[in-house]
Amino acid sequence: MFGVIFGLLAGLAYAGFIILSKKTLANYSSLAVASYSYLASTVFLSPSLLGMYPSLNLFSWVLLFTLGVFNTAFAVTLYLKGLKLVKAQKAVVFTIWSQ
């Protein structure tokens, strides 16, 4: 039952992200919207790291940095750039279709 609830919440969160991003992109660049999105995510998720002391070597930190910059930041910034150019409904359909 919790899986269904969390699945519905994830869908609502994604829809909210798309709607808020589309409205915000009317006034700001995709890079600015993505930066504020990452900042909000950092503030929201940081409390979950309290009490954790990861023991990662340098190579693991480099891989985490690469994952964060290229696979997340670059991809979401490009997605928001595309969202600015098309309707939100088409962006969602393209996202679902590409998976």
Q: 21 with 83: CB under 8 angstroms?
A: yes
Nearest-Å Rg of the Cα atoms of the chain is 16
50 sits in the region (left: phi over 0; alpha: psi -120 to 50; else beta) called beta
Per-residue pLDDT, averaged over 61-68, amounts to 90
**What size, in residues, is the chain?**
99
pLDDT in tens, 14-51: 888 888 888 899 899 988 988 888 898 889 988 988 88
- Per-residue pLDDT for 5 more than 90? yes
Instruction: Name the pTM for this structure.
Output: 0.69
Structural domain span for residue 9:
2-45+54-98
For the chain, how many structural domains are there in total?
1
What does the pLDDT look like over 73-83, one tens digit per residue? 888 888 888 88
CA distances from 13 to 9, 10, 61 (A): 6, 5, 29
Instruction: Give just the sign of the alpha carbon dihedral 96, 91, 7, 38.
Output: positive
Mean pLDDT over all residues of the chain? 86
